């Protein structure tokens, strides 16, 4: 096992970081390019392991394609391969084989896809056969209903192949929509390549049409930016430039600007990105947020609350249990090592709501803790900023390669010592 020791001699956040491209945007752009009749350039493509993997799988001619631990890649490739000629097997790690895929497979089957489970029903690996276009035209509806409370990646996977379907797609989202900004991101990227849609209530309609090739630039990752906002939150002096971010962003995680203003972090946009400074504002007695639209920020904000001793009241965490790990359980385990506690509130707390609330209490006592990362890149990066409060240890630090391979090198430029 590899363990990184992380420390910092002061509480200053000064410097400039060029952030990695968003893998969420990059992976969508790669799928759209693969579905487009002509090639086009993608600038500032993410160098994340997930994006490199996606690019490689799309270019592969192998009958067996391995998506590893990449959930987004697996889901997008499932829909993409269902539209391709021939027969391919799509597999992944043992953890991936525990992550459900049945909702997406059921939807694709309704559209005419021919997909078999090779092991456990409803889970990877999959054997994906070519879609029968004639059968689709004559025997299958172009209307699919899918739970709106499921992963937005299932919905995005369906939307991106929609214009290539012979009759397009009418997608009905049943119930409360989870992670709506990720769906909007997908539709915005499709619109960039001239694919139009109608979204009326809970129904999204995409007619049969062609993607038009256009050069594309990938915005930097707001999830990645969150770790620098955490560094700023724990610092006493802040003069930090984060390059590559757009003020008018398609990423739901850009709500981070609004969130972190409550912790005294001021964001000023400029030509290359955003400049962070710190105000003298008092910390909030309670930080309350619904993460339903930005679940990837939950770990970072939980650590910020714990590190600063701010009570947190979180909801909208239900998708965290089916990520790379059960992120709620992982947070509970690791925060408790610092006398910070994350607990579910009893239903009587909000009897008129079906939302599940979690409370964060306590102020971190950082006494050289060792944090396992649970094969989850965000666990490593969310806990790293705590090194400003005392030396910490991170198990399997290379897990960050999934989304941000240069993370440890980048924070080293701000004075963190990683050994």
Q: Which of 184, 217, 250 is the last residue of a domain?
A: 217
Measured distance CA(208)–CA(168) in Å, rounded:
4
Question: H or E element: which one contains 72?
Answer: helix 71-81
The band of 355, judged by pLDDT with boundaries at 50, 70 and 90, is confident
pTM metric for this prediction: 0.82
Looking at the structure, tell me whether residues 233 and 371 fall in a common domain. Answer: yes
Query: How many domains does the chain divide into?
Result: 2
Measured distance CA(337)–CA(240) in Å, rounded:
30
Q: Collect all residues with Cβ–Cβ distance below 8 Å to 289 and sequence separation of at least 6.
A: 259, 301, 312, 313, 314, 315, 316
Among the listed residues 274, 269, 238, 399, the one whose alpha carbon sits nearest the alpha carbon of residue 18: 274
Looking at the structure, tell me whether residues 109 and 30 fall in a common domain. Answer: yes
The more confident residue out of 39 and 318 is 39
Looking at the structure, tell me whether residues 143 and 44 fall in a common domain. Answer: yes
Measured distance CA(114)–CA(132) in Å, rounded:
8
Phi, psi of 45 (to 5 degrees): -60, 135
Looking at the structure, tell me whether residues 174 and 294 fall in a common domain. Answer: no
- What pLDDT, on the 0 to 100 scale, is given for residue 318? 79
The predicted-structure confidence for 20-35, as pLDDT tens digits, reads as follows: 999 999 999 999 999 9
Measured distance CA(104)–CA(146) in Å, rounded:
8
- What pLDDT, on the 0 to 100 scale, is given for residue 345? 87
The band of 324, judged by pLDDT with boundaries at 50, 70 and 90, is low
Q: Which of 174, 189, 217 is the last residue of a domain?
A: 217
Looking at the structure, tell me whether residues 397 and 264 fall in a common domain. Answer: yes
Strands 311-315 and 341-344, sheet pairing: unpaired
The band of 292, judged by pLDDT with boundaries at 50, 70 and 90, is confident
Strands 203-206 and 198-200, sheet pairing: antiparallel
The CATH number of the domain holding residue 315 is 3.65.10.10
Left, alpha or beta for 142 (phi > 0: left; psi -120 to 50: alpha)? alpha
Task: List the catalytic residues.
Answer: 296
DSSP string for residues in 75-101: HHHHHHHTTSSSEEEEE--TTGGGS--
Measured distance CA(416)–CA(235) in Å, rounded:
12
Looking at the structure, tell me whether residues 120 and 104 fall in a common domain. Answer: yes
Looking at the structure, tell me whether residues 115 and 191 fall in a common domain. Answer: yes
Looking at the structure, tell me whether residues 153 and 232 fall in a common domain. Answer: no
The more confident residue out of 401 and 141 is 401
- What pLDDT, on the 0 to 100 scale, is given for residue 57? 97
Q: Are 196 and 209 in contact (CB under 8 A)?
A: yes
Q: Specify the 3-state DSSP secondary structure of 62.
A: coil
Looking at the structure, tell me whether residues 223 and 213 fall in a common domain. Answer: no
The predicted-structure confidence for 164-189, as pLDDT tens digits, reads as follows: 999 999 999 998 887 788 899 999 99
> Could you write out the three-class secondary structure of 140-209?
CCCEEEEECCCCHHHHHHHHHHHHHCCCCEEEEEECCCCCHHHHHHHHHHHHHCCCCCEEECCEEEECCC
Looking at the structure, tell me whether residues 167 and 261 fall in a common domain. Answer: no
Phi, psi of 143 (to 5 degrees): -105, 130
Work out the burial of residue 277: count CB atoms within 10 Å of its CB; fewer than 13 is exposed, 13-18 middle, 19 or more buried. middle
Looking at the structure, tell me whether residues 245 and 321 fall in a common domain. Answer: yes
- Polymer length of the chain: 419
- What pLDDT, on the 0 to 100 scale, is given for residue 348? 59
- What pLDDT, on the 0 to 100 scale, is given for residue 141? 75
Least confident of 58-62, 208-212, 249-253, 269-273: 249-253
Domain holding 409, by residue range, is 3-21+219-418
Q: Specify the 3-state DSSP secondary structure of 364.
A: coil
> CA-CA-CA-CA torsion for 252, 184, 66, 98, nearest 10 degrees?
70
Looking at the structure, tell me whether residues 121 and 192 fall in a common domain. Answer: yes
Q: Which of 217, 236, 264 is the last residue of a domain?
A: 217
Instruction: Name the residue with tokens 């909030």.
Output: 284
- What pLDDT, on the 0 to 100 scale, is given for residue 148? 85
Q: Are 58 and 232 in contact (CB under 8 A)?
A: no
pLDDT of 64 strictly over 60 = yes
pLDDT of 297 strictly over 90 = yes
The more confident residue out of 30 and 149 is 30
Q: Collect all residues with Cβ–Cβ distance below 8 Å to 132 and sequence separation of at least 6.
A: 112, 114
């Amino acid at each position: 096992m590899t363990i990184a020791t992380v420390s910092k001699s002061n509480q200053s956040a000064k410097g400039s970081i060029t952030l990695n491209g968003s893998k969420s945007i990059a992976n969508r752009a790669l799928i759209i390019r693969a579905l487009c009749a002509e090639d086009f350039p993608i600038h500032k493509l993410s160098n994340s392991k997930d994006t490199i993997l996606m690019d490689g799988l799309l270019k592969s001619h192998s009958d067996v394609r391995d998506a590893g631990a990449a959930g987004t890649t697996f889901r997008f490739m499932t829909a993409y391969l269902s539209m391709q000629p021939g027969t391919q097997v799509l597999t992944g790690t043992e953890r991936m084989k525990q992550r459900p895929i049945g909702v997406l497979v059921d939807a694709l089957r309704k559209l005419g896809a021919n997909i078999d489970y090779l092991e456990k029903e409803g889970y990877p690996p999959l054997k994906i056969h070519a879609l029968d276009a004639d059968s689709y035209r004559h025997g299958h509806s172009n209307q699919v209903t899918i739970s709106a409370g499921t992963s937005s990646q299932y919905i995005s996977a369906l939307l991106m192949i929609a214009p290539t379907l012979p009759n397009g797609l009418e997608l009905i989202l049943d119930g409360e929509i989870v992670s709506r900004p990720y769906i909007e991101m997908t539709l915005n990227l499709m619109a960039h390549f001239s694919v139009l849609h109608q979204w009326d209530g809970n129904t999204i309609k995409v007619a049969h049409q062609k993607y038009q090739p256009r050069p594309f630039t990938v915005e930097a990752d707001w999830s990645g930016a969150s770790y620098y906002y955490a560094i700023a939150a724990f610092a006493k002096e802040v003069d930090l430039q984060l390059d590559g971010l757009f003020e008018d962003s398609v990423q739901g995680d850009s709500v981070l600007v609004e969130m972190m203003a409550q912790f005294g972090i001021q964001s000023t946009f400029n030509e290359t990105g955003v400049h962070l400074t710190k105000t003298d504002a008092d910390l909030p007695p309670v930080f309350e947020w619904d993460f339903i639209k930005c679940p990837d920020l939950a770990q970072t904000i939980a650590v910020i609350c714990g590190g600063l001793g701010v009570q947190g009241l979180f909801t909208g965490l239900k998708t965290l249990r089916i990520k790379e790990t059960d992120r709620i359980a992982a947070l509970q385990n690791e925060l408790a090592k610092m006398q910070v506690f994350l607990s579910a509130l009893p239903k009587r707390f909000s009897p008129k709501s079906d939302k599940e609330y979690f409370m964060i209490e306590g102020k971190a006592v950082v006494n050289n803790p060792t944090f396992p990362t649970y094969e989850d890149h965000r666990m490593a990066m969310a806990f790293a900023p705590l090194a400003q409060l005392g030396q910490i240890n991170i198990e399997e630090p290379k897990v960050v390669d999934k989304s941000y391979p240069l993370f440890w090198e980048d924070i080293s430029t701000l004075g963190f010592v990683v050994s």
